[in-house]
A and B are shown apart, each in its own frame.
Chain A
Amino acid sequence: MVRALHSSLLLIPLIFVLQTAHGQDKKNISGNFTGYTFPRLVDYLEKNTPFTFYYDPKEVDSIFINIQVTNASLRQLLDLVFQGTALHYAIDSSGRVFVSNRVTIRTALPPGFFSRDKDTIALIKEPAEEDNPAQKTKFKASEEFQLIAVGDKNARSATGKATLAGYIRDIATGEAIVGAFLTVDTPAVSVVTDQFGYYTLSLPKGRHHIRITSQGMTPTRRQIQLYSDGKLDINLKEYVANLKAVVVTAEKTSNTRSLQMGVNRLSISTIKQVPAAFGEADVLKVILTLPGVTSAGEASNGFNVRGGSVDQNLILLDDATIYNPSHLFGFFSAFNPDIVKGIELYKSAIPEKYGGRLSSVLDVSMLDGNNKKWTGNVGIGPLTSKIFLQGPIKKEKTTLVLGLRSTYSDWLLKNIPNSAYSNSSANFYDANLRLTHIINSRNTIYLMGYASKDKFNFNNDTTYRYSNANANIKWKHFFSPRSYGLFTAGIDRYEYSISDTRDSTSAFKLGFDIRQTYVRADLNYNPGNKHSFNYGISSIYYQLHPGYYDPVGPHSIVVPDKVGSEQALESALHIGDQYAVNTRLSFSAGLRFSLFNYLGPHDVYGYAPGQPRQINTIVDTTTYGNNKVIKTYSAPEIRLSARYNLPGEASIKFSYNTLQQYIHMLSNTVTVSPTDIWKLSDPSIKPQSGDQFSLGYYRNLQSNTIELSIEVYYKRLKNFLDYKSGAELVLNHHIETEVFTTRGKAYGAELLIKKTTGRLNGWLSYTWSRTFLRQDDPLAGELVNKGKFYPASFDKPHAANLIGNYALSHRYSFSLNVVYSTGRPITLPLAIFNLGGSPGLYYSARNAYRIPDYFRTDLSVNIDGNHKVKQRFHNSWSAGIYNLTGRQNAYSVYFVQENGLVKGYKMSILGTPIPFVTYNLKF
């Protein structure tokens, strides 16, 4: 007799009545059950023993029995039958056998059961699943415990290896899941999905168990019978019940097992947990809480990674380079949180497919979009409004993601009873578009577009404008399941301008722009699990207008000025291999060869040989024609990393990188400001180069709930640019006379402790890092700091961050964010002197002093409505205080001449506790 029973129905009611039943389990079963299905075995057992079986036929339909036993007990027999599956069984005192998937049914109450609080019960029971048990059971039964046949059953050989490949996607939205882990125990293999959620696994033919884990998703597993090369797409379900716990599952394996080091991967759900000023999740602000990442201060654009300058970060939004990643001078990041899928920040082992920047690569990926149904978001606030839409234009074929965000903060400024504010205006917008079209299983086209514009005017004074515009198209093509190529073409543009039209005779507009057109091909080939090859070619054509100064209006007597445009072609070839020697040791080795051609038309100044580069040492001017190669630089770049797994959940990783950078940001301020100038390497300005050694130790404690990592690094920089005394950068026709090259060294240690589960979770990071520069330019004409090392302007020795979340219950939680860092170095004017009839300022040694340390605490309380999945309205509140202690952190320190005196001022913004409330209502 067969009685089918839904597993979830078993869970609660039966717990109370079941008893253990050892007495009945006699060793009296003998027989040859080879070729039996489970129902047939049950049939046999129910006829020949007093046991009655309760099970779901769907859960057992993949079990094939190949057992012979003599005088075995029922337990012994079932242990053999269920070996290697996720099925469990329980036998009660009445001789009833319950077969369950994944969860062992307790036939007795656990000790102290009735003294436990409600939360514990909630953990014993599968949370949030009672809403729709039927659907869930179906999902699990049909996929997790079915034996899935992959490949051609009639394949000639049953031995040897075959390749399994496919996509890991979100079941609800069809969104590809990046960085999901697929693990097979025998042979021990683990692979990670790529940026498209694609994986390839090479396995011996036969039966395998694959575990799939990913951040924020419910872990799942698949049983496959691999006959030959084949495809297996896996859909993951979002982990609904306890968002805090989500992060856990995903990263616990990746931390110690991933080959990559110095990489931080965050999903948007993690980003959204960090308290942010004004309740708007901010990608860049969260990056600043990671070890090794600092910024110049509050609301500053850009960030510094491991003692690198702001321009040494390659910021990519779906492969488009974003030159200015901020809005409103850093109050908001340029990335609309609605459209962000996740971020990856590479700090040390930078994959060979990336290049052109020395410090880091920040890869922000956009959502692919829901390919199943249309969903959206409308946000209305006092400062910004947003609309977000995603959905299939053609179901499971063509998907659109559209995000728009805009401010209208002018009215708020106008209402402030202070003329400096009411005469100001500030606004920005950004727009994101992404289109994914699946032509067939081998070809997919992706189209992205991004546009942003900022305009800021303070007290009817100078108007600052800047804008980003980016678009690209990608074609992904599978040559075979083991090999695919990604072909990208795109254009990026960034421009800024400053204008002042108050006085009609001196009305001017000063501006700058950068445009880059690029093509790239990235190919991937996985011959087996031991090797994974990446290779490709890329080319970027730069066009820069380093500055123009034009009159505005008919009455302006401003004399137009224009710095000659610059062109260059940066090309690179790359090849890399990830090689898993065995389960403990793996390597990644890559080589990138970059080639930079500085191209005409351009007028190049020649300087007297051996003389300092100064205006009065210019000896000639050479005019180069269109596309004429003026100067070529090239260099091989090495990318090496290795991982060795230690016993227990621990590993050691090592990496060594060399990098080249051909485009430089010139700035007199420490942050990205609209007056920064980008400059290409030219005959006088050599490319920056650098290398980095890093070593890390990773350990997971307390059954993977606590992650510990320590990374140390040592970096060397060559030809890093710093500025001569009194350098003038804006509209300078011979900027090489204002800069000098330095050699730099940066070193540091980063400590990260992360608690991923439990009521209390979060992370604590501490970074000790130093960056020093030393003038290394015989042609500079002056010797800064007497030729000795001095701290770089972004040198911040100590930085600590605490992100903590504490869940009082499922509905109430607290989040705390504490930030501390040493103040950045500053060169102070110390005295006024008169020499040769002329007054002047006497400054300290370069960067000899520091502005005050930075400290800030943010607190927020999150109150969720109920957790029922199927209800009309979902609401949640988030309230908090930004800068709880009200510390007036220095945003900038500057000196101005007032009535003949030189006065110092410290400007702080957000220098008071700022309360915020966010209310979310979804329907």
Chain B
Amino acid sequence: MLIAFRKYSMILWLALLVSDCKKPYDPPAIVGPNNYLVVDGVINTGPNSVTIINLNRTRNLNDTIVTGIPELGAQISIVDRNGATYSLIDSAGKGLYSSSPLTLDPAGQYKIEITTSDSRQYRSDFVTPNATPPIDSVFYEQPRDFTLYLTTHDPANSTHYYRWDYLQTWEHDSRYQSPWELRRGQVWAKDPDSGSQQTDRCWTTTMSNTILLGNTTALSRDLVDKMPIITMINNDLRLDIAYYILVRQYALTKDAYNYWQLIQKTSQQVGTLFDLQPTQLTGNIYCTTNPNEPVIGYMSASSIQQAHFYIENYQLKAWPHYIYMEGCPTHEARRLSPDDFHSWLYPDTAYGPYYFVSNGPLIVAPKRCLDCRSQGGTNVKPSFMP
């Protein structure tokens, strides 16, 4: 019997495993600058309607800004088949270009033309408007969590492809409500006549941040039944007091639907357990100055239907009004002179007056806990809130 005895050296595995093998990978292609134009909007073919196009630019993978970079100073116009043009103006200087109220012929064909401030020209394909059927109903169910649903149908059975977005507004309070404010470094009672602003109650409005799509091609009727629009888990602060949502419905062409479906996928892409196949977007907007320059966005034309919904906390089942105190420590502040009720000494300027203890010190709290605007939103009640 032949026996072979083997020995391997083991230096190697150590060398292999200890060496740091992860290095940043920044090939020239991703270092950029990859600032491609993003055209976000719909040509609104409803009667007497305003078309709003949001023009912004993509950012590099390691740019720290979180939203798109607004593209300012561009000229945008809607052009129909007959050559009639309708300009859009960025009146606020935020990259939001709006038309004057227009009544575009729903039987026409429209495209968008853009000239950016650096004289680069872009245009979309001509698109045929889709008539968006009205939203039948918006309603909620709350077994425990809250879900808002939408139902719509097209009696003509011709829409098939839908997209929704929404604007939601919720009321929220500051952590601590205080009748006092600092004016010129002194503590005074709040007084609207003196220009005081209330900081106890705010309204925050945000836009939907997911892509909502519907497709009825597999159904015998063009009916979208009980499409979930938004779900909030129980105790979600948005339903703490009052909540308002405006849901907008857009009819899409099949190609536009497919495009939005890809956007939907790529927005879910980062941070999942398993790598997903990268998404490739091919829209209908092109750079005519440089045909190889990518442009992001898909131009559609349709009328826009909308429905709103309002609910207050008391209407919900077991949705406690939740007061969130964490991170709001209070301290006592010393009066500067026994005669001066307005002057109090607290070295940390991040703190503001909360309440007085009878014949005692002033209790101060962090200003962000006294002002609801620190959580976002505005302290002016929007007109649409009941």
Contact = CB atoms under 8 A, between A and B. Distances in A.
B15 A920 contact: no
B186 interface: no
B36 A842 contact: yes
B279 to A, nearest CB: 4
Interface string A518-543: 00000000000000000000000000
Interface in A785-832: 785-786, 827-832
Given A619-B218, A831-B32, A836 B25 contact: no
B92 interface: no
Nearest to B35: A831
B: contact size bracket:
35 or more
A553 B121 CA distance: 61
Interface in A729-752: 729-730
A380 B34 contact: no
A376 B3 contact: yes
Given A828-B27, A834-B40, A903-B62, A726 B279 contact: yes
Given A382-B10, A833-B38, A835-B40, A418 B18 contact: yes
A834 B56 contact: yes
A730 B276 CA distance: 10
A834 B279 contact: no
A910 B294 CA distance: 38
Interface stretch (B193-201, B209-217, B308-316, B369-377): B209-217
Interface string A884-906: 00001011011111001111111
Contacts of B15: 912, 914-915
Contact of B22 (A726, A845, A905): A905
B9 A917 contact: yes
B359 interface: no
Nearest to A915: B11
Nearest to A616: B215
Interface stretch (A361-369, A606-614, A653-661): A606-614
A623 to B, nearest CB: 19
Contacts of A614: 215
Contacts of A373: 1
A278 B8 contact: yes
Contacts of A829: 30, 61, 278
Contacts of A910: 16
A844 B27 CA distance: 13
Interface stretch (A141-149, A257-265, A776-784): A776-784
Q: Which interface residue of A421, A830, A831, A895 has the most chain B CB atoms within 10 A?
A: A831
A839 B267 contact: yes
B274 A725 contact: no
Contacts of A730: 274
B7 A831 contact: no
Interface string A372-389: 011111111111101000
Interface string A704-740: 0000000000000000000111111110000000000
B19 to A, nearest CB: 5
B280 A608 contact: no
B66 A900 contact: yes
A418 B14 CA distance: 11
A668 B274 CA distance: 8
A405 B148 CA distance: 60
Contacts of A905: 22-25
Given A830-B34, A831-B59, A834-B68, A916 B280 contact: no
A379 B38 contact: no
B294 to A, nearest CB: 7
B275 A668 contact: yes
Contacts, number: 290
Given A383-B13, A833-B38, A919 B274 contact: no
A916 B58 contact: no
Nearest to B8: A381
B271 interface: yes
A277 interface: yes
Contact of B270 (A416, A783, A902): A902
Given A616-B218, A831-B34, A906-B25, A277 B12 contact: yes
Given A379-B5, A831-B61, A728 B217 contact: no
Contacts of A103: none
B26 interface: yes
Given A781-B261, A849-B29, A908 B21 contact: yes
B21 A907 contact: yes
Mostly helix, strand, loop or mixed at chain B's interface? loop
A835 B256 CA distance: 13
A16 interface: no
A897 B19 contact: no
B271 A897 contact: yes
A380 B281 contact: no
B8 A918 contact: yes
A836 B211 contact: yes
Contact of B8 (A382, A784, A896): A382
B165 A837 contact: yes
A840 B218 contact: no
Q: Which interface residue of B11, B60, B274 has the most chain A CB atoms within 10 A?
A: B274
Given A726-B265, A912-B15, A921 B24 contact: no
Contacts of B58: 830-833, 842
A338 to B, nearest CB: 9
A837 B208 contact: yes
Nearest to B208: A837
A227 B100 CA distance: 107
A379 B5 CA distance: 5
B305 to A, nearest CB: 17
Nearest to A901: B62
Given A416-B14, A726-B266, A840-B269, A833 B36 contact: yes
B228 to A, nearest CB: 14
A835 B280 contact: no
Interface string A398-435: 00000000000100110010100100000000000000
B207 interface: yes
Contact of A923 (B3, B9, B62, B262): B3
Contacts of B294: 830, 842
B297 interface: yes
Interface string B129-161: 000000000000000000000000000000000
B263 A835 contact: yes
B278 A919 contact: no
A339 to B, nearest CB: 14
A728 B36 CA distance: 28
B5 A611 contact: no
A619 B216 CA distance: 11
A838 interface: yes
A728 B276 contact: yes
A726 B269 CA distance: 7
B354 interface: no
A903 B1 contact: no
Interface in B52-103: 56, 58-64, 66-68
Interface in A309-337: none
A375 B1 contact: yes
A843 interface: yes
A618 interface: yes
Q: Which interface residue of B25, B63, B66, B271 has the most chain A CB atoms within 10 A?
A: B25
8 contacts: A378-B6, A608-B217, A831-B59, A833-B296, A838-B267, A841-B278, A846-B278, A906-B22
Interface of A: 277-280, 373-384, 386, 409, 412-413, 416, 418, 421, 607-608, 611-612, 614, 616-619, 668-669, 675, 723-730, 781-786, 827-846, 849, 882, 888, 890-891, 893-897, 900-912, 914-923
Interface of B: 1-19, 21-27, 29-30, 32, 34-36, 38, 40, 56, 58-64, 66-68, 163, 165, 207-211, 214-218, 258, 260-271, 274-282, 294, 296-297
Which 10 pairs across A and B sit closest by C-beta, in order of nearness? A726-B265, A382-B10, A381-B8, A379-B6, A831-B58, A725-B279, A906-B25, A917-B9, A831-B34, A840-B266
Given A910-B16, A915-B12, A922-B2, 7 more contacts: A412-B10, A830-B34, A830-B294, A838-B263, A895-B61, A914-B12, A917-B8
